[in-house]
Amino acid sequence: MNKRFKFDFWTIVTLTILGIFLLFLVYPLTTLFIDAFKEPLTSKFTLANFQKFFSKKYYYQALINSIVSATSVTLLSIIIGLPIAYLMTAYKIKGKRLLEVLIIISMLSPPFIGAYSWVLLCGRSGVITKFFKHNFNLNIPTIYGYVGILLVLTLKLYPFIYLYVSGALKKIDSSLIEAAESLGSKPSRKLAFVIIPLILPTLLAGALLVFMNAIADFGTPVLIGEGYNVMPTLIYSEFISEVGGQANFAAAMATVMVFLTSIMFLIQRYIINKKSYVMSSLRPIQIGELKGISNYLAHIFIYLVVILSIIPQLTVIYTSFLNTRGAMFLHEFSLKSYRTVFSRLGKSITNTYVYGFIAIIIIILIGMLTAYISTRRRSTLTTVIDTVTMFPYIIPGSVLGITLLLAFNKGYIILSGTATIMIMAFVIRRLPYTLRSSAAILYQISPSIEEASISLGCSPVKTFFKVTSKMMLPGVLSGAILSWITVINELSASVILYTSNTRTMSVTIYTEVVRASYGTAAALSTILTVTTIISLLIFFKLTGSKNISI
């Protein structure tokens, strides 16, 4: 366009959005990285924080644990998710639709609920543990530590592999497979030489997503990990125990963590850019039917996994209606937990909805406007914004919590303990879903539609609100629903940022579990899970789609 600088509406939007990101993301992160290289008292440049981390086993063991557990979770998720995706796409499975919905629900409900219900079932005084103890005098293997983390995270994260891979499988045209068969390929060979290579890039992308989620998760290891320290829990405990407010060591650990996730993120980008095949399926793979024993095995396998992954939700819903005495559930139904929740913890419910609502409005606004400027008003500034909006992918929630707190508990802008800081954490963490879906739909809208409106006498800004935004809406909503669900379930950043006035349901569930108030935790978890499910159902209804894009 013109070389002259035009100070129009979109310039203001660009600068505003850039300002928000600079203030709430770039500035805090820079502060964090600088802090990591500072001596706590003198503020001199030092590498001592990193030396401390890498010299004491207690610290660096957490890094090793993080990598080991995230890698195991990723491998297990592939082992489970890949066959399910293949079986569900290629063969007739009874109750497929329901299974799909259950898989999505188990993916979208908060992982700490999973951890907490497995503790209820198989923990030291868990139902199953006691059952085996009393009837058979058997000690079942402990659920705490590495095994528990593995169990909970795998059941929560294999859906990513499932969704990614079945998406890719649906795009394979059956003519490719027929071509392989016509060239003399046996069924087993066609799987190994045609299908696997075609879905490999997608599988790797999904695997890295699982890895990133697993390594950044805070709720699961904190509830079920016990002595098994991982980076997010270590950062959290080091940060919380720094009474004087000198968080340089925690900052150093956060830096190590961000360094690791950045590398993974770059690898993921590289794979997606270099190795993805463009396929469009005119004729998807024919759905076949398994016969005899293999049919039974397939059904047993799929149902077992899906039931296992949905058990936590069922457990919390069931136990939320039980009467309690202290940490104990009694064998009688009661609404006592709900009464307690509403009388004592009602604030956390309103907080969740109010903050969530404000956050989702901001997310939709920023998401649509950012998508618009970076696809239609390209400039150096939008390139900067594009890069900055990638940050949330690589910054674990707990790290984001610490950065925001460090940046805004002193200086000119003090936000610590406010609702604003919670909402901003939500916005930054969950914006990418909405941003990406908004950009995706914009690419499908021809610019000439906007030009048509302008040529008819509508100013460009008015055109955006009158035409473009309306056409964007379906795409925006499909991302916004994901943002919304993940906002109300957010724990790892809010657990650092909350105060008694600003706590949300997920934070309260966490604190209630920690003080062994299982009944109220179950009631809150039920409210949260039901909200999630209703949101999902509304989404399915609104978009008419049967799937959800991650």
CA dist 412 and 414 (Å) reads 6
Which is nearer to other proteins, 65 or 463 (by Cβ)? 463
458 binds other proteins (CB under 8 A): yes
Q: Which residues pair with 325 in a beta bridge?
A: 328
Cβ at position 383, least distance to other proteins in Å: 16
Name the nearest CA neighbour of 100 among 108, 466, 234: 108
Secondary structure (DSSP) of 285-319:
PPPB---HHHHHHHHHHHHHHHHHHHHHHHHHHHH
Cβ neighbors of 289 (< 8 A, separation 6 or more) are 91, 92, 295
Residue choice 109, 309, 453, 506 for contact with other proteins (CB under 8 A): 453
Indicate which single residue of 304, 307, 452, 516 sits in contact with other proteins (rule: CB under 8 A).
Answer: 452
Burial class (CB in 10 A: 0-12, 13-18, 19+), 192: exposed
List 448, 500, 541, 544, residue binding other proteins (CB under 8 A) = 448
Restricting to residues 38-77, which ones interact with other proteins according to CB under 8 A?
Answer: none
Q: What does the chain come to in residues?
A: 550
Judged by CB under 8 A, which of 41, 243, 282, 456 binds other proteins?
Answer: 456
Cα distance between residue 149 and residue 366, in whole Å: 35
- Which residue in this structure is represented by tokens 């770059």? 266
Q: Does 451 bind other proteins (CB under 8 A)?
A: yes
Q: Residue 449 interacts with other proteins (CB under 8 A)?
A: yes
Query: Smallest distance from the beta carbon of 9 to other proteins, in angstroms?
Result: 12
- Which range of residues in 25-33, 248-256, 393-401, 443-451 is near other proteins by CB under 8 A? 443-451
317 lines the binding site for other proteins (CB under 8 A): no
| Binding residue (CB under 8 A) for other proteins from 467, 533, 547, 550 | 467
Place of tokens 């950009």: 439
Binding status of residue 2 toward other proteins by CB under 8 A:
yes
Residue 160, CB-side half-sphere exposure with 13 Å CA sphere: 26
Q: Count the residues of the shown chain that bind other proteins, applying the rule CB under 8 A.
A: 19
Query: Given the complex with other proteins, which of 130 and 470 has the nearer CB atom?
Result: 470
For residue 311 the two structure tokens come to 């058990």
Q: Does 457 bind other proteins (CB under 8 A)?
A: yes
Q: How far is the CB of 447 from other proteins (least distance, A)?
A: 9
Provide the minimum distance between the beta carbon of 8 and other proteins in the complex, in angstroms, as a whole number.
10
Pick the binder of other proteins from 459, 499, 501, 545 (CB under 8 A).
459
Stretch of residues binding other proteins (CB under 8 A), selected from 147-155, 446-454, 482-490, 533-541: 446-454
455 lies in the binding site for other proteins (CB under 8 A): yes
Q: Which is nearer to other proteins, 381 or 454 (CB)?
A: 454
Cβ 314 to other proteins, closest distance in Å? 42
Contact 317, 526 (CB under 8 A): yes
Note whether 539 and 434 are within 8 A (CB).
Answer: no
Considering only 43, 125, 387, 446, the residue that binds other proteins (CB under 8 A) is 446
Q: Which residues contact 58 (CB under 8 A, 6 or more apart)?
A: 229
Of 530, 539, 511, the residue nearest 223 (C-alpha)? 511
Q: Does 440 bind other proteins (CB under 8 A)?
A: no
Nearer to other proteins, 43 or 446 (CB): 446
Residue 542 binding other proteins, by CB under 8 A: no
Indicate the SS3 state at residue 535: helix
Contact 405, 495 (CB under 8 A): no
Residue (18 or 368) nearer to other proteins, CB: 368
> How many angstroms separate the Cα of 193 from the Cα of each of 91, 104, 173, 187, 339?
19, 30, 15, 10, 59
Cα gap 145→219, rounded to integer Å: 13
Closest contact distance (angstroms) between CB of 131 and other proteins is 58
The answer to whether 159 touches 310, Cβ cutoff 8 Å, is no
Tell me which of 191, 200, 471, 550 binds other proteins, using CB under 8 A: 471
Whose Cβ is closer to other proteins: residue 10's or residue 426's?
Answer: 10
Cα distance between residue 494 and residue 419, in whole Å: 10
The answer to whether residue 381 forms part of the interface with other proteins (CB under 8 A) is: no
Q: Is 332 helix (H, G, I), strand (E, B) or coil?
A: strand
Nearer to other proteins, 283 or 466 (CB): 466
Site residues (vs other proteins, CB under 8 A) = 1-2, 446, 448-449, 451-460, 463, 467, 470-471
